[in-house]
Every structure is written in structure tokens, then in C-alpha cells.
Structure 1
């Protein structure tokens, strides 16, 4: 890290009706293009050879600071990520950490994908290679065999499909088959051809942070200040993408819980989620069934972590996160609908308020 890096973290966020009232009273500054406001910011300076410095700034003072990150915080997020969305997980793999082997074969995978949509998923994320800690890489030909018919059939039935892959050849084929989102745990850094493939299409791109590779990432990860270092890495990947011709409006970031991170690092990221709004793009949270609170989870197997996952999602909603990658879609749809009602956010016209109780 060269020089002094600057960060701006929204520390007191307000949604919906409360955001409108505080903004009208001059007590908060609108952020994320509207629907949200912030009444207190933490301005951070991290010199190369010095301690981290922190200053608290209220809504009235923030404009006078002429902080370039404020433009990223206040800019609108592109539709459909201008409000929270659910990305349902569909692993067509034998060895994923939670649901490996449950949806192998195109028929079983497509059926589960349609169940996710029926339960309330806005997006179905199809993956054919496990990236759990210790996982080995799957040949592109095998990954394509697993995912391509699933992507094609789900997209053909109207589902919004994301392809979870690190390989340019899989990205290219999946987008041609109907995928509208590329979700890469390496942030388009694993395959040298990925930037070119992403630049040549109109798909949204999820850039995730990972320290190392799935085979080695959790052996001995090292950070000085994890959330800030992840922010810097993702800022660098955004720069690489825009330099390659990928519009910033097509980018989404994911701080990568548990990917090269142990419990202290995961908690640091979660406690500072709002920091990532300073990147100026939608933020994805992938906490579902992960052991991000490992020291607390004695005996909590992956399939038993729904309560802790819902806690992370609720925390993320209160931090303004726009996209949640989850296994248990129905439970998260109920949580999201209830949260929007409490926040005073207007329901979408195609919501489920007309369903019988």
C-alpha cells in the first residue's frame, strides 16, 4: 500500500420513511441514490507508516469536506439492485460444503432452481465447481457439462440466472446460454481471458475478494486491517474492469466472507459492511450457512446455521446491502418482506401482498 489511503464509512444509516424525515430536517444526507440516508460518517485515514486515524463527521459537515468517496456513496445503484434482492444458490456439484450432491443432474438441478424462484429468489446462481476451503479445480469441460444445460433451461423458463465460475470459457458459454450475471470468486483474476469475456457481453459481474486460492486460502490468512484491505483490493479490481471496458454500472462487489478469512476477519467485514458502499457499486453478502462465527458454533453443522444466516442478513439489510446469496430462499423472502414493511419501503408492484394468508 503506497501513500495514505482514505475511506468513508456510513456509520448511522436510515432507510425508508425515517430517511426521508431526517433528510427533510437536514439531519441526514441521502445515500445510495435515495431510499437511504446517513446522519453520521466515519472518515478514515491510513498512512503507510502510521496508525489508522478516525474522525466522526455529521451530515452537515460532510459536504464541506469535499470527499471524493461521497460521490460514490450518494450515486444511484443500477436497477434491479436499487433495492434488496435474493440470489438463490444452486450448486450442481458433488462436493460443495453444504449441499454438495443434492442437485446433480440437469433435471434435479432445474427442478430445484424453479423451486428457488417459486420461493422468492430474484436470481438463481448456478455453480459447477466447489470453491470450499481445500477444494481442487474442476476441468472446464466437466464444469460446462454440469452447468450449461441447467443455465439454458432455467433461462428458457424466464429465470434470471447467474453463473458462478472462475473460467472464461464457462462464462462465455453460460452467457450465450442465457446467464445475465457472472459471479467470480476470484474477481476476474483467475483466468486471464475473463476480463475480455466480461467486457464483450452485457452481463452484470460480481467481483469477490479471496486471499489465495480455494485449495489454500484458509490455511494461514494474514491481514493488518481486513475490511480496509478488502476494500482496497476490490477497488483495484474495479479499476482493472473499467480499464478493460466493463462499465462500472455492471459491477457488483462481494467482500468474500470465509474466503481466506477466519472468524476475526469475517466479523471485521460484517461490522464494517457499509464501508463497501464507498466503492460506488452494489454490494453482495454471502453469509449463508458459513461458519463465520466459528468460535460460537460448536456443533453447528452447515445445515443448522439458518438462524445465524438470518442474523447476518438482517444485519446486512440494516447496512444497506443490495444482494444476498442464500440457500434458504423462502425464509429470507419472509425476512426481507417484513423488514421492508418495518422500514417503510414501498413494496414492488409485483410483490406477494395479494396472496391469501
Structure 2
């Protein structure tokens, strides 16, 4: 009939909206909603016995499972791709929970993934009486580098007066968070010492904490984090994913401070090839999350960042933007920092100060794929893009 068309339904909220538009009896929702969304879930390193059981069970429920050829001949472990609706998964989970070969653990993992991928709102309690609301709209984190050698704006805000002025400008332009970095993380830079980093930070922080600004500190050092948190900072943005300084995690736990865990192989495992880029990053972020929670940091205080520009290839960085939604499986808010980075310059053939349009494209793509926070240099333009993208993604229909 005229007007018939394919409809893309991304989640259960959108599925419910479509049913309401059609005029479906609400009593049918519990039966229809589990069939409305189709999900592919990639399981890693499943034994050949487990893979064969999963395939048989998923097929019997009306779903599908792709397993490696060697699993059929008794070789393994290997990866498994599950394909099905929520209904298929719920039926599968009942069976897996009573199966051997570690499938009870696999069932729990699938349950956690399915629970994590639905959009949700969250409030993170910050030190010093502030809160961070996530999920209502995309938050904008403005970058303030008070360093002489950052790749984009090094040297511009070394003077505390200039730094404070720029922070206020970014807040006026729409920044929800100001991320202050006092030690450059540029690959070829010489990292400032602890004392120098603290001495750069505190004069700027002392003037900003009196204002209604949420302050994030870009540091991987425990001692710097302690000084910052004790002087009014609210969030620690750790580019080392708890790997570069063993003193950081105890400080986070003691202060119960929210942390951004950014994936980064550059300092720890530089040159080590990825077997499966997205899966490897998810695995390493899971490990960092586990260590933080085991040490006493509440899971709801953790934000993840896949680390665009840190130890990834040009294609890898672009793939992370494309596949950002995969990181929803972690069940944590996602921060993305692509602003002005070299992969944009390499893609467009542009120098660092000509990368605005590429950065804004990355912002829009990231938001459409599930980013909760965007970390940017160009706050005014990025805020407008975020507002427009949010409006599109949240539109009814």
C-alpha cells in the first residue's frame, strides 16, 4: 500500500512509541515489545562444547547463532555471534543457566549486556555537594589546557588570568564541565613533574571553585588527584585507565570521586596488536572497572572513554566512532574525546586549527551512537551541534 516503509526501531522506548501510534491495546505490549528489537551479541572465547549448545538452544527458540567452523569438529575456544529478539534471548537464558561448560556465567553476561544497552538516566554524586545528571541530554566538557605543549592550544592559557577567563567563556558558551589539564598527554611531549602539575593547577582551581562550575582534572597521578580533589575538583579524568600510577585508585576510593577511565595502550602496551579492536578495548575497560569496584569505588561513579587517538590507527579511530554504541554493553556512561585529533587531520588533510568541521561531525556521530559526554575545544559550536543532535534523537515518531 502507498506509504508502507521499513521502520528503524533502536530500543524498547521507541518500540513502545510505535505501538502507541498504531493504537495497539496496551495489554498486548508485554507480548509484542520483546519481539520489536533485534540484537546481535558477540560472545568471546566460548568453548566448542558451549558454542554448540548455544547454537542448538538459540535455533530451537527461533533465533540464530553463528559459530566458528572448528567448533563443529571439537576445536575451540572461539567467538559466537548471537542473533535474536529480546524474546529469543529470554528463552535462551533460561536454558543456559542450567547448562555446564561455563554457560551459566555466559547467561549472566548476556543478561548484563541486554540490561545495559537500553537508554537510561543517571545521577552521579560529586564531591563538594554537586551532582552530574546524565541521560537527559548530552553534556559538554570544555577542554582547558594550562600547558606549554598541548597539541592544539599549548601555551595559550598558562597564565592563570587567561585560564580563568577561558573557563568562564566556555561556561557561557554552554560547557557543563571544565576539564583542566596541567600535563600534556601528547605522544611526543615531555610530561611535567608532579610538583609542576600541581603548581599549575591550584592557582586556576582556587578561582574557579568559588563559581558554579563542575571541574574535572585531566591527570593519571594519585598525588595530583588528591591535591585537586581536596581543593574543590569534582571528577578525575584518567588517561591511564588506572595503569600509570598505583597511587591513583586508593585516592579515588578514599575520596569517593567519580573517574573517567580512558582506554590507553600507548604507555603500557605500545605496539601490541589488537586481535579485535572493539572487543579488546571493552575487555581492558572491564578489567579496569573491576579493579576499581573491587577496591571500593562504586560502579555508578565510573565513566568510560574508548580513548580515540591513543594507540589506535587511523581506521581504528574511525571505527570506534562508528561502533561507539557497542560500548553500551559496559553499562557505564560514555565520554568521547575526538576534538581536533590527528585522525581528523589525516582524514581531511588539515592542520590542527582547521579541524572544526571534522570535530563537529565526530560530535554528531558520537551522540547518535550513544555518547553521554563530549570533550571538546570548540564549546560554542559543539554545544549547538549537541543540542540539534539531541533534538533529532529524542524526537517522537
Relative to the length of structure 2, the TM-score reads: 0.75
Partner SS state of residue 117, structure 2: helix
From 257, 263, 268, give the equivalent of 2:308: 257
Residue equivalent to 1:57 = 84
Deviation of 1:343 (Å): 3.0
Partner SS state of residue 243, structure 1: helix
Q: Distance in 1 between matches of 2:190 and 2:18?
A: 51
Matched, 1:41 2:39: yes
Partner SS state of residue 255, structure 2: coil
Q: Distance in 2 between matches of 1:266 and 1:111?
A: 32
Q: Distance in 2 between matches of 1:277 and 1:39?
A: 16
Deviation of 1:335 (Å): 1.1
State whether residues 128 and 146 of structure 1, in contact with CA within 8 Å, keep that contact through their aligned partners in structure 2.
Answer: yes
* Larger displacement relative to structure 2 (150-159 or 39-48): 39-48
Q: Distance in 2 between matches of 1:269 and 1:337?
A: 22
Residue equivalent to 2:184 = 130
Deviation of 1:15 (Å): 7.7
State whether residues 345 and 355 of structure 2, in contact with CA within 8 Å, keep that contact through their aligned partners in structure 1.
Answer: no
Matched, 1:177 2:228: no
Matched, 1:310 2:337: no
Q: Distance in 2 between matches of 1:148 and 1:28?
A: 52
Partner SS state of residue 156, structure 1: coil
Residue equivalent to 2:392 = 342
From 262, 274, 288, give the equivalent of 1:208: 262
Residue equivalent to 1:32 = none
Deviation of 1:307 (Å): 1.1
Matched, 1:119 2:173: yes
From 52, 57, 73, give the equivalent of 2:117: 73
State whether residues 322 and 369 of structure 2, in contact with CA within 8 Å, keep that contact through their aligned partners in structure 1.
Answer: no
Partner SS state of residue 53, structure 1: strand
Residue equivalent to 2:17 = 21
Deviation of 1:20 (Å): 4.7
Q: Deviations 1:325-356 (Å, cap 9, x if unpaired)?
A: 0001111111122223223469xxxxxxxxxx
State whether residues 40 and 59 of structure 1, in contact with CA within 8 Å, keep that contact through their aligned partners in structure 2.
Answer: yes
Aligned pair in 2 of structure 1 residues 320, 23: CA closer, same or farther (>3 Å)?
Answer: farther
Deviation of 1:245 (Å): 0.3
Q: Deviations 1:262-313 (Å, cap 9, x if unpaired)?
A: 1122122222111111111101001000122454232x11111111111111
Q: Distance in 1 between matches of 2:243 and 2:9?
A: 33
Residue equivalent to 1:351 = none
From 299, 316, 320, give the equivalent of 1:269: 320
* Larger displacement relative to structure 2 (277-286 or 70-79): 70-79
Q: Which runs of 5+ in 2 are unaligned?
A: 1-7, 47-75, 94-109, 124-132
Q: Distance in 1 between matches of 2:172 and 2:236?
A: 22
Residue equivalent to 1:156 = 210
Matched, 1:87 2:141: yes
Greater relative CO (CA pairs within 8 A, separation 6+):
1
Matched, 1:320 2:373: no
Superposition misfits of 4+ residues, deviation over 6 angstroms: none
Deviation of 1:222 (Å): 1.8
From 222, 225, 230, give the equivalent of 1:168: 222
Partner SS state of residue 199, structure 1: helix
Residue equivalent to 1:248 = 299
Residue equivalent to 1:105 = 159
Aligned pair in 2 of structure 1 residues 268, 342: CA closer, same or farther (>3 Å)?
Answer: closer
Q: Distance in 2 between matches of 1:212 and 1:317?
A: 26
Relative to the length of structure 1, the TM-score reads: 0.83
CA RMSD in angstroms, aligned pairs only:
2.6
Q: Distance in 2 between matches of 1:28 and 1:86?
A: 33
Q: Distance in 1 between matches of 2:164 and 2:156?
A: 12
Q: Distance in 2 between matches of 1:282 and 1:205?
A: 11
State whether residues 221 and 260 of structure 1, in contact with CA within 8 Å, keep that contact through their aligned partners in structure 2.
Answer: no
Q: Which runs of 5+ in 1 are unaligned?
A: 1-11, 30-37, 347-357
Deviation of 1:221 (Å): 5.1
Instruction: Give the number of aligned pairs.
Output: 324
